[in-house]
Structure 1
Amino acid sequence: VPIRDSSRRGQLWDRLRLFWFGVEGGYNILVMERLGPSLEDLFTYCNKRLSVKTCSLLGEQMIARIEYCHSRSFIHRDIKPDNFMMGSGDNAGIVYLIDFGLAKRFWESSSSAMGGGHHIRYKENKNLTGTARYASINTHLGIEQSRRDDLEALGYVLIYFMKGGLPWQGLQARTKQEKYSKITKSKLSHRVDSLCQGLPDEFGEYLKRVRGLKFDEQPKYEQLRGLMASVRLRSNYPSDEEHLDCKIMKSLLFQREQQFEREKRSGPLTPPGYYH
């Protein structure tokens, strides 16, 4: 189950198929394409470490998914490994972005017949929205989120995959606010070079570029994907690394398929609760 190379244009915008949604028996129900494991599942199954080449392959697709979300005038605001899922079956090598419960429109369309619109306004003193471990520095500082923040969060996700963790994990605090404050200080104190020490230069360059974006600036997504592609294509990262992770992923997908078959044989599923 090789992770799909997203360098071909037709693979940039893979979207989850939605079959039906509505209310049934007092439950809000959403019926969509069945997916495989989340990237957090894959990471855990791989003993909490993914190879550089696998992360570059994943990174290309993850940037493309975020770009598509932004192209629809929304920012996700909760980029984390649990919200990226692998496909199943023929789509097992495709990454999907899920859970838009915290998403927000960043582009306000004009009511004018001429079209147009404007970017949401810069604001401060905002509460942290998302997951503190991966949130951007500006999010911690209370600044309104925009496209740059989704991409910075992705940078931390990729570092987490390759290094097995982030420096601000496991900080002890008495309250949530105290913990957020400690995480903020840790993120501010860690330079990009130290965060990305031992990784290909492209990952540090990625983080520097997205951190350097202005609030309303449109990211150069193609260039960011190009950084991932240059790592993927470099000859001194053996393809064996990719195959190792993919074999593990194939095993995990097989286990999920077996579990699903057992659930089907056991009888009707319990009605689901509310879905975002």
Structure 2
Amino acid sequence: MGLCHAKPVKIPETQLDNQVINTENTQNLPNNLPQSNNNNENVKKTPKFPFYSPSPLQNWFKNSPSSVKSTPHRFLKGPFPAASPAKHIRALLARRHGLVKPNEASIPEGSEECEIGLDKHFGYSKHFVNNYEIGEEIGRGHFGYTCCGKGKKGSLKGVDVAIKVIPKAKMTTAIAIEDVRREVKILRALTGNQNLVQFYEAYEDDENVYVVMELCQGGELLDRILSRGGKYPEDDAKAVMVQILSVVAYCHLQGVVHRDLKPENFLFTSKDDHSPLKAIDFGLSDYVKPDERLNDIVGSAYYVAPEVLHRSYGTEADMWSIGVIAYILLCGSRPFWARTESGIFRAVLKADPTFDEAPWPSLSPEAQDFVKRLLNKDYRKRLTAAQALSHPWLSGFPDIKIPQDMIVYRLVRAYICSSSLRKAALGALAKTLTVPQLTYLKEQFQMLSPSKNGYISLQNFKIAVVRNATEAIKDSRVIEYVNMVSSLQYRKMDFEEFCAAAISVHQLEAMDTWEQHARRAYELFEKDGNRPIMIEELASELGLSPAVPVHVVLQDWIRHSDGKLSFLGFVRLLHGVSSRTFQKA
């Protein structure tokens, strides 16, 4: 697509061993790239008190070369290459679709040999030629290409459309066939959201599958960014982010994770400056339940989340990608970059994006906080799409509709299964929430249709989801999860208890004000909920097994002076400590 004018990361030669240069990204780069003079390392603030926050990510890279601590500023002064997948992502996709050449090396992923006699009949209509005329090619992806076209008859007669053509010759594995089937199924199920490309119909013949969709003639978000000099003003960036978050929140509620969110996969419907934005390309999308983790590595290198590389991820991976897009929109540079694709991965895993260089100091603190809370390497601390729409940076933006948030269902389930002591601790923490946080929770509570006296039952959770369900929610088995939550035996909740149940301790911990929240909550807990407690009773409250040496691991949880829960114990309790946690320690 063009050149990338950027500052290179200086990596010692010893760290470049075994790296494969992505010539597609580097062969056209100018030789006189400006050198980075940013030698300062980002210093993370350490909290003034100990707290329990185990990392969910194992360090599988202990023997790998260490990466730079921060990423130098790289302005997008001109067109840059499309964010191609890193080498092993390409290898996995090639294996997935049976495109590995006989002598081509790839990461071993188990036996996925091409099958003979694959059933390539999808059951789609075979009358494509009768209904549409196909025009010139307008885009090309990994395993297909897109053409413009025009309807010949029916309601789409004379209407310009986009036609994605997927050759059956490239479907050489059962997985490749299932990917196509799932993409069509997802598009068909999710059609109806204003920021998702309109799906019309799928056809097939002996050679191809044809997916007929709305034609978006305004170009890619990436091209619009570059035409504006590489970045957006804050107000314009807000308009883009609201549309992206709206469609992603819609997908996540239905149990669909996109897995390839990037500026190239958002198109404007027209050339107008205020044209609606549409999400496209669900070829890598998949279904995921709220309590499920995916493990196959797919996506694009610049936008891939750390947990994807660790092969354990859910919908939070999409939120990381949105954070990268927001970073680019606001400052015109990539948060993670290197001259090689493996270097990009090291930056994603190890480096922290810089917020010290221009234009970040001139941007609002709310904008910086918004991006930082999306680019948190701990997926538990990342904002969901619904929470991001409720963020103070977007407050006041017209016509924002906050959808249901499935994280509420997960948190309420965990709360119900918690000990009475932890419920009291969470109740104290909920009383420290700010007005924006309470606003988000109030909206979530109201969507559950509380009774006139202000109470909800667990059946309200099921009713609310069914009200907004599509066919996708059945295929993703999210409805099974909701049924399980609604079947739990628990009393009715008022708004105050709902706040305690739906609060995410990990997300609060990611905020600069976390220490104030924790200290204030402990003060309230001391007055209302703290009481003398024996170590054996505490172990029972936490559900610890007899095999756990409770006197050793819990002795600093209780004050020796009066036998009450200490501040350290209180903070650890908030995080939902279990016997599994101690077994890992």
Q: Take 1:96 and 1:213, find their aligned partners in 2: how far apart are those partners?
A: 26
Q: 1:75 aligns with which of 233, 250, 257?
A: 257
Answer yes or no: is the 8 Å Cα contact 2:307–2:379 preserved in 1.
no
| 1:34 corresponds to | 215
Per-residue Cα deviation, 1:90-129 (whole angstroms, up to 9, x for no partner): 996211111111112111xxxxxxxxxx6214x7xx5642
Q: 2:345 aligns with which of 175, 180, 192?
A: 180
Instruction: Give the number of aligned pairs.
Output: 203
| 1:238 corresponds to | none
Q: 1:202 aligns with which of 366, 383, 393?
A: 366
CA positional deviation for 1:55:
0.5
| 1:132 corresponds to | 301
Distance 1:164 1:218, change over 3 A: closer
SS at structure 2 position matched to 1:202? helix
CA positional deviation for 1:197:
4.3
| 1:150 corresponds to | 318
SS at structure 1 position matched to 2:241? helix
CA positional deviation for 1:70:
0.7
Q: Take 1:101 and 1:165, find their aligned partners in 2: how far apart are those partners?
A: 27
Distance 1:231 1:218, change over 3 A: closer
1:190 aligns with 2:353: yes
What pairs up with 1:56-67 in 2 under 5 angstroms?
56-67=238-249
| 2:514 corresponds to | none
Answer yes or no: is the 8 Å Cα contact 2:219–2:271 preserved in 1.
no
Answer yes or no: is the 8 Å Cα contact 2:336–2:344 preserved in 1.
no
Q: Take 1:120 and 1:172, find their aligned partners in 2: how far apart are those partners?
A: 34
Q: Give the percent of matched residue pairs that are identical in Structure 1 and Structure 2.
A: 20
CA positional deviation for 1:177:
3.2
Q: Take 1:34 and 1:172, find their aligned partners in 2: how far apart are those partners?
A: 35
CA positional deviation for 1:192:
6.3
CA positional deviation for 1:143:
4.1
Q: 2:327 aligns with which of 131, 152, 159?
A: 159
| 1:240 corresponds to | none
SS at structure 2 position matched to 1:145? coil
Per-residue Cα deviation, 1:30-88 (whole angstroms, up to 9, x for no partner): 11111021101111222212211110111111100100111221111111100111113
Distance 1:227 1:193, change over 3 A: farther
CA positional deviation for 1:193:
6.9
Q: Take 1:14 and 1:178, find their aligned partners in 2: how far apart are those partners?
A: 34
What TM-score comes out, normalization by structure 2 length?
0.31
SS at structure 2 position matched to 1:154? helix
In structure 1, list runs of 5 or more residues that go unmatched: 1-10, 108-117, 234-276
SS at structure 2 position matched to 1:139? helix
1:227 aligns with 2:392: yes
Q: Take 2:235 and 2:205, find their aligned partners in 1: how far apart are those partners?
A: 45
| 1:103 corresponds to | 285
Answer yes or no: is the 8 Å Cα contact 1:152–1:207 preserved in 2.
no
Answer yes or no: is the 8 Å Cα contact 1:39–1:82 preserved in 2.
yes
Q: Take 2:393 and 2:260, find their aligned partners in 1: how far apart are those partners?
A: 21
Answer yes or no: is the 8 Å Cα contact 2:230–2:329 preserved in 1.
yes
Q: Take 2:353 and 2:363, find their aligned partners in 1: how far apart are those partners?
A: 15
CA positional deviation for 1:191:
6.1
Per-residue Cα deviation, 1:195-244 (whole angstroms, up to 9, x for no partner): 954432223322344436529x99361553443423758xxxxxxxxxxx
Distance 1:184 1:218, change over 3 A: closer
Which residue identity is paired with 1:214? Answer: R
CA positional deviation for 1:178:
4.5
What TM-score comes out, normalization by structure 1 length?
0.62
Q: Give the RMSD, CA atoms, in angstroms.
A: 3.3
| 1:86 corresponds to | 268
| 1:19 corresponds to | 200
Distance 1:104 1:52, change over 3 A: same
CA positional deviation for 1:182:
4.0
Which residue identity is paired with 1:21? Answer: A
Larger radius of gyration: 2
Answer yes or no: is the 8 Å Cα contact 1:12–1:61 preserved in 2.
no
In structure 2, list runs of 5 or more residues that go unmatched: 1-191, 399-585
Q: 1:214 aligns with which of 377, 380, 385?
A: 380
